A and B are shown apart, each in its own frame.
Chain A
Amino acid sequence: MSVLSLRLAGPLQAWGASARFIRRTTESAPTKSGVIGMLAAAQGLQRGDDAGLAPLSALRFGVRIDQPGTRIRDFQTAHHAVTGKSMPLSERFYLADAVFVAALEGDHTLLTTLHTALRAPVYPPYLGRRSCPPSLPVELGVHPGISLDQALRNEPWQASAWHQKRHRDRPTVTLVILREATSAERDGQEDVLRDQPLSFAAEHRRHALRTVLSTTVNVPNPLARPARPPGHTVPHHDPLDGLEEETA
């Protein structure tokens, strides 16, 4: 088993799992359908190619929240470019300034192909919505012979320098990992999310439920600085030490 790691960083991201109609919400972490869709687009798969999609959606998926970002709301009043008629009023939610590490576990050959495709994509990658380009190269590399959990634990902290500096008082930071549970770990208490892609066909997209297991990991902070030692730096000096007490 190998793992392909991705860094998802950009000014805006939007990862909808249950968004419908005019209110387009976002989850707080990338969805499997969003990331698999990005990989399929990089490979040049067409929307209706369910057979080509099947090996991709069979990969085990996990994500680590390196920098949570902030949720922002966009109230959109667009007009049709040609007719000038107003489009439906819509609310769109985004994650601003977020950084995630996503990882996919599966067959080494397939992951290497995907890694190569990301370096020369047929359709350019985007972070959940077409208007959200990544700010840094997406691919981090293929790690052979390790598990999904290990890959997400080993990856160094990918947050922006300003975010790491903001946590400079902490030598390690605790990051949340959301990954698919293995069959041994399943006990019926996990969260489920409807983001397991079955078909990206334009006329009818279909998603299945996916179990999500939440754990945490402690990652070293490269920009941590030790606090100044307590106590003042003024040298001790008491001139009255050298003088005798007055005899009454």
Chain B
Amino acid sequence: MYLTRFRVNTGRPGARRLLSSPQSLHAAAMSSFPGLLPTTTDGPRVLWRLDHNARAEVFLYIVSPERPDLTHLVEQAGWPTAALDPDTPGWQTRPYAPFLERLTKGGTWAFRLTANPVHYIRRKDGEPTKRTAHRTPVHQKAWLLDRQERSGFRIVEKSDENRLLPSGTTHKGHRHHGDRHELTVREPRSLAFSKSDEAGPKRHRVTVVTATFDGRLEVTDPEALRHTLTQGLGKAKAYGCGLMTLAPLPTTTE
């Protein structure tokens, strides 16, 4: 497994075309694998995510079983002349497997995840269920907290003095997950684009609601967490959702 980071040059027209279309960006990410034909339907699981840290600091992260070659992305949406130097090819790829092997039960990490939180609803009896997005931060948090056990981690709870609500409950004593955990939701995005079906010329609208989670987690099941980190969490993995990354917690300086 490999983890790759590519910084997008947001000033370029090619970058804007890619950033505005999750389909194009997925196609670009998938075509960075030399051993993979574009028509292959059951290729390896490739996960990608865009981190908009600032207006001109946008990173594309890719987790893949094979080593990618992002030369075409550098040419379209990078700094091609700077990439002529072999020390700075325009992207960084590092082997992911040693890091995954090092995950042990009880370890704590900072994480970031961009996901598509959905549930299935039926509006009246007899109707087939329909996939529907969670739109409010409270429900989006609940969606992630609902999946933490089977995904192999537990989100760290805040200490009492850091909570706004005493003991993390409302004044009526209800549990309120808005303030219990080291977890924030930000950048709610609604991606809407049209997509043509393989079967026919008919185009239909696709709507994907995404949210970015930041927080701290404790590893409860390393094997399940490895699966989560490499296979993704939730739906819409082709549109930049489901990739969770871990980073070391900042060392507290007294």
Interface residues of A (CB under 8 A from B): 232, 234-246
Contacts and interface: CB of A to CB of B under 8 A. Distances in A.
30 contacts: A232-B54, A234-B53, A235-B214, A237-B110, A237-B112, A237-B214, A237-B245, A237-B247, A239-B3, A239-B5, A239-B61, A239-B112, A239-B245, A239-B246, A239-B247, A240-B3, A240-B5, A240-B92, A240-B94, A242-B99, A242-B246, A242-B248, A243-B94, A243-B98, A243-B99, A244-B94, A244-B95, A244-B99, A245-B94, A246-B93
Nearest to A232: B54
B3 A243 contact: yes
A241 B251 CA distance: 13
B144 to A, nearest CB: 16
A243 B214 contact: no
Nearest to B54: A232
Interface in B30-57: 51-54
A235 B3 contact: no
B79 interface: no
Nearest to A233: B186
B184 interface: yes
Contacts of A244: 94-95, 98-99
A236 to B, nearest CB: 8
A232 B52 CA distance: 11
Contacts of B245: 237, 239
Nearest to B63: A239
B143 interface: no
B19 to A, nearest CB: 16
A246 B95 contact: yes
Interface of B: 3, 5, 51-54, 61, 92-96, 98-99, 109-110, 112, 184, 186, 214, 245-248, 250
B245 to A, nearest CB: 4
A242 B250 CA distance: 11
Determine which residue in B109, B110, B184, B214 has the highest number of CB atoms from chain A within 10 A of its CB, and name it: B110
Given A232-B53, A232-B54, A243-B3, A238 B247 contact: yes
A209 B113 CA distance: 76
Given A239-B5, A239-B247, 4 more contacts: A235-B184, A237-B51, A242-B246, A243-B3
Contacts of B61: 239
* Nearest 7 Cβ contacts at the A-B interface: A239-B245, A243-B94, A237-B112, A232-B54, A234-B53, A235-B214, A242-B248
A237 B51 CA distance: 9
Contacts of A240: 3, 5, 92, 94
* Most chain B beta-carbon contacts within 10 A, residue among A238, A241, A243, A245: A243
A242 B214 contact: no
Contacts of B110: 237
B240 to A, nearest CB: 15
Contacts of B109: 242
A232 B61 CA distance: 20
B247 A241 contact: yes
A235 B214 CA distance: 8
B248 A243 contact: no
Contacts of B52: 234
A176 to B, nearest CB: 40
Contact of B96 (A236, A243, A245): A243
A243 B95 contact: yes
Contacts of A236: 250
A212 B52 CA distance: 59
Nearest to B187: A234
B61 to A, nearest CB: 7
B11 to A, nearest CB: 18
Contacts of A246: 93-95
A92 B90 CA distance: 68
A189 to B, nearest CB: 53
B247 A234 contact: no
A243 to B, nearest CB: 4
A1 B186 CA distance: 62
Contacts of B186: 234
Contacts of A245: 94
A192 to B, nearest CB: 56
B129 to A, nearest CB: 35
A234 B52 CA distance: 8
